Amino acid sequence: MDFRRAGTTDEIVSILAEVGPDATLLAGGTDVMVQYLRGEIAPKLLVHIEQVDELAGVDEADGRVDIGALTTHLTLSEDPVIRRTVPGLAEAASQVGGHQTQAVGTVGGNLCNASPAADTAPPLLVADAELRLRSAAGTRTVPLDRFFLGRRHTARRPDEVLTSIAVRPLPSHAGETYLKVGRRGAMEVAIVGLAARLVLDDDGDVVTDARLAVCSMAPRPLRLPDAERLLVGSRGEPEAVAAAADAVQETTEPIDDARARAAYRRRLVPRLLAEAVRLCMRRARGEEESWS
Ligand SMILES: Cc1cc2nc3c(=O)[nH]c(=O)nc-3n(C[C@H](O)[C@H](O)[C@H](O)COP(=O)(O)OP(=O)(O)OC[C@H]3O[C@@H](n4cnc5c(N)ncnc54)[C@H](O)[C@@H]3O)c2cc1C
C-alpha cells in the first residue's frame, strides 16, 4: 500500500484525478484504519488529508452555516456557532464514541463512511444539509438526503473530495435535539438515533414545521416525512406523537445486528419520539436551554 500526504484541496483533487478509485482518503482514520485492520478494505493508495487546514472549521454568513469536511466532532460539540445554530449537531457530535474518537474523527469521514448508524447524519438531515463535492471537473452540490444510497454507499464519485457541508440554522421559535440509544454511555454506535427540529407559531403553541430523521433504523440514515406531517398542526399531544411514531415504524426497515434486533429498535421509537417532541417544544419556548 502506498501513502501520500496532501497539503491543499488542489493537491487532493489532482491525486484523485490521477489515481481514481484506487485512492482512499484518510481523514481522522477512525473508520479507515479499523476497516483496513479487519481486512474489509485493501486500499492501494492512502491519501492523508487530515492536515489540509482549509477544509476544517465553521463559517457563518448570509443565513447559512458552512462546516468544513475535516471539522472534528470535538470542535462541533464545542463551537459556539454550531451550538447556537445547529444544536442537535453539537449534541450528536458529543456522543460519537469516546473522547479520542471525537478528537480525531471528522464530520466528513462520518458522512462519507455512510454507516447506517452515523450519528451526525440525522441532525444534518433535519438542518437541510447540502454537501459540496469537488473534483478536477469542478464543484457540485448534493442534498444530504440524496447522498446516502445504502450501507457504506454514497453518491460521491471516486474522483471527488467532500469539501464542506452547508446547513440551515435553527429559526426563531424553534427547538431541536438528537437522542441516541446505545448499549453503553460511550464508545458505542447508536442502536437508534433520532434528530428532531420543531418550529412553533408565535404563541409557542402549535407546531408549524417538523423535521425528523433517524439512524440505525434502515440501511441508511433517513428523513421521516410521513411522521413529520402528522406533527404539523399539533400541540405535541400524546395522540399526535403516537400517530407519528406509528408512521416511523411503518416507513423504516430497522437493521438486525449484534447490537439489537429490529423489533427492539422499533419498540424504542414511541418513547424516543415523545421525549424528542417534549424537549424541542420546551427549547422552542425558551423553557429549557439547548443542549450544553
Ligand atoms: C472506538 C470507535 C467508536 C466509534 N463510535 C462512533 C459513534 O458512536 N458514532 C458514529 O457515528 N461513529 C462512530 N465511530 C466511527 C468513526 O469514528 C466516525 O465515523 C468518524 O466520524 C469518521 O471520521 P474520520 O475522519 O476518522 O474518517 P476516516 O476513517 O478517515 O474516513 C472514513 C471514510 O470517509 C472517507 N472520507 C473521509 N474524509 C473524506 C472527505 N473529506 N471526502 C471524501 N471522502 C472522505 C474515507 O475515504 C473513508 O472511506 C467510532 C469509531 C471508533 C474507532
Q: What is the structure's pLDDT at 51?
A: 96
- Domains of the chain in sequence order: 1-48 (3.30.43.10), 174-284 (3.30.390.50)
Mean pLDDT of 211-235: 97
Mean pLDDT of 201-221: 96
Mean pLDDT taken over the chain = 95
Pocket of ligand 1 (CB under 6 A): 24-32, 34, 69, 96-97, 101, 105-106, 108-110, 112-113, 117-119, 156, 161-162, 187-189
pLDDT higher than 90, residue 259:
no
Report which ligand 1 atom has the smallest distance to the Cα of 70: 41
Of all protein residues, whose CA lies closest to atom 4 belonging to ligand 1? 97
- Spacing, Cα 25 to ligand 1 middle (Å): 11
High-pLDDT (> 90) share of the chain, %:
92
pLDDT digits (tens, 9 = 90+) for 109-144: 999 999 999 999 999 999 999 999 999 999 999 999
- Spacing, Cα 114 to ligand 1 middle (Å): 9
Mutate to test the pocket of ligand 1, among 96, 164, 188, 214 (most ligand atoms within 8 A of CB): 96
Q: What is the structure's pLDDT at 150?
A: 95
pLDDT digits (tens, 9 = 90+) for 158-204: 999 999 999 999 999 999 999 999 876 556 789 999 999 999 999 99
Of all protein residues, whose CA lies closest to atom 53 belonging to ligand 1? 30
Mean pLDDT of 266-290: 94
High-pLDDT (> 70) share of the chain, %:
98
Mean pLDDT of 213-241: 97
Q: What is the structure's pLDDT at 292?
A: 61
Q: How far is CA 185 from CA 61, 80, 95, 116, 210, in A?
A: 35, 24, 8, 19, 28
pLDDT confidence tier of residue 77, bands split at 50, 70 and 90:
very high
Q: Per the structure block, which three cell numbers stand in for 158? A: 471516486
Q: What is the structure's pLDDT at 281?
A: 97
- Spacing, Cα 14 to ligand 1 middle (Å): 23
